[in-house]
């Protein structure tokens, strides 16, 4: 049975997770620190939006929110029509880190709990989340390390969770109009309640805790890589794909904007500070830039686990 105490324990973990991730990311910056914008909603809910602009992290945001709503938006009931008309509460940590150096990949993570209350029904709950990596210049060792961290974190819960969530990530973070993966993936899951509440919560914790352990060494390795104007130009073009996905396909963005439960500034925090679109832009064949889409952004099995 879902209790207020269990919901409170999830909230405590998420707020602590936000604190710990911010502390470890701030360690990369000689001077910059996260600016916190704490907010309250009149009809229930609160949040802590934290944004940083530094020399290593060009723009980063690590947000916590806990919001309530009287009516589920269409994005939340598309796959669960029986819940239409129910009230909800949602809490989670969502983050996006856009480094300055084109050789350092953008990273994204999100972990959340969603609870629906509807008259005549027991509360319906599910967890969701994941983490994924979006490089602009590929390094095989980074891809393998990233996916190994995801596999190791999920291993205690069953041998098939990484494989399932890896495929789900590849399918979700896919730009259909480009026929192109957004990045090299990671793990992604949603509507997850197939284990008990406590075990499902533990799985979500493993994903949330695993993000910074996976990303920290990659950022440390790539943040000082030499680059020039051409690499920066390519980074800005590739960031355009990130924007396209978040505005066109991302369920979290759609939920926040449709529900009215979130804050627009916090929802759109994920967008990079600078981006570029050029008509018909294509990298020259055989270059590292072309290798990104030809080799890295193909949904590869980086751990050689399939087949």
Q: Active site includes 108?
A: yes
Q: Which residue is catalytic, options 12, 35, 66, 108? A: 108
Residue 154 host element (H or E): helix 140-154
246 exposure class (CB count in 10 Å sphere: 0-12, 13-18, 19+): buried
Q: Which two tokens stand for residue 85?
A: 């008309």
> Which positions make up the binding site?
94, 98, 108, 110-112, 147, 177
Q: Are 101 and 236 in contact (CB under 8 A)?
A: no
Residue 174 host element (H or E): strand 174-175
**Euclidean distance between CA atoms 90 and 126, whole angstroms:** 10
Q: Are 80 and 36 in contact (CB under 8 A)?
A: no
Name the 3-class secondary structure at 282. coil
**Euclidean distance between CA atoms 163 and 160, whole angstroms:** 5
Q: Which two tokens stand for residue 281?
A: 């832009």
Length of the chain: 307
Q: Are 297 and 184 in contact (CB under 8 A)?
A: yes
Q: Which two tokens stand for residue 205?
A: 């914790």
Q: Give the residue from 225, 234, 144, 133 showing the smallest Cα distance to 185.
A: 133
φ and ψ at residue 50, rounded to 5 degrees: -125, 125
Catalytic residues: 108
């Amino acid at each position: 049975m879902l209790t207020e105490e269990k919901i409170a324990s999830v909230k405590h973990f998420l707020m602590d997770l936000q604190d710990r991730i911010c502390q470890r990311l701030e360690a990369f910056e000689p001077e910059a620190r996260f600016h916190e914008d704490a907010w309250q909603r009149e009809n229930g809910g609160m949040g802590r939006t934290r944004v940083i602009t530094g020399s290593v992290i060009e723009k980063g945001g690590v947000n916590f929110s806990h919001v309530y709503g009287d009516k589920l938006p269409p994005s939340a009931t598309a796959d669960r029509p029986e819940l239409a008309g129910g009230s909800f509460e949602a809490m989670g940590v969502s983050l996006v880190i856009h480094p300055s150096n084109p050789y350092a990949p953008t990273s994204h993570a999100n972990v959340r709990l969603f609870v629906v209350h509807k008259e005549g029904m027991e509360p319906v709950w599910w967890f969701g989340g994941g983490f994924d990596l979006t490089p602009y210049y590929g390094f095989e060792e980074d891809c393998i390390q990233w996916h190994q961290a995801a596999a190791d974190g999920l291993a205690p819960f069953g041998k098939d969770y990484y494989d399932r969530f890896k495929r789900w990530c590849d399918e979700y973070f896919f730009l259909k109009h480009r026929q192109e993966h957004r990045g090299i993936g990671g793990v992604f899951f949603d509507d997850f309640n197939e284990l008990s509440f406590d075990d499902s919560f533990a799985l979500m914790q493993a994903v949330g805790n695993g993000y910074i352990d996976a990303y920290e060494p990659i950022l440390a390795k790539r943040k000082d890589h030499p680059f020039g104007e051409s690499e920066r130009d390519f980074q800005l073009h590739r960031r355009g794909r990130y924007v396209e996905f978040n505005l066109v396909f991302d369920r979290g963005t759609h939920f926040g904007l449709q529900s009215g439960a979130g804050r627009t500034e916090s929802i759109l925090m994920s967008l990079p500070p600078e981006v570029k679109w050029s008509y018909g832009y294509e990298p020259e064949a055989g270059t590292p830039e072309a290798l990104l889409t030809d080799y890295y952004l193909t949904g590869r099995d980086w751990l050689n686990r399939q087949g």
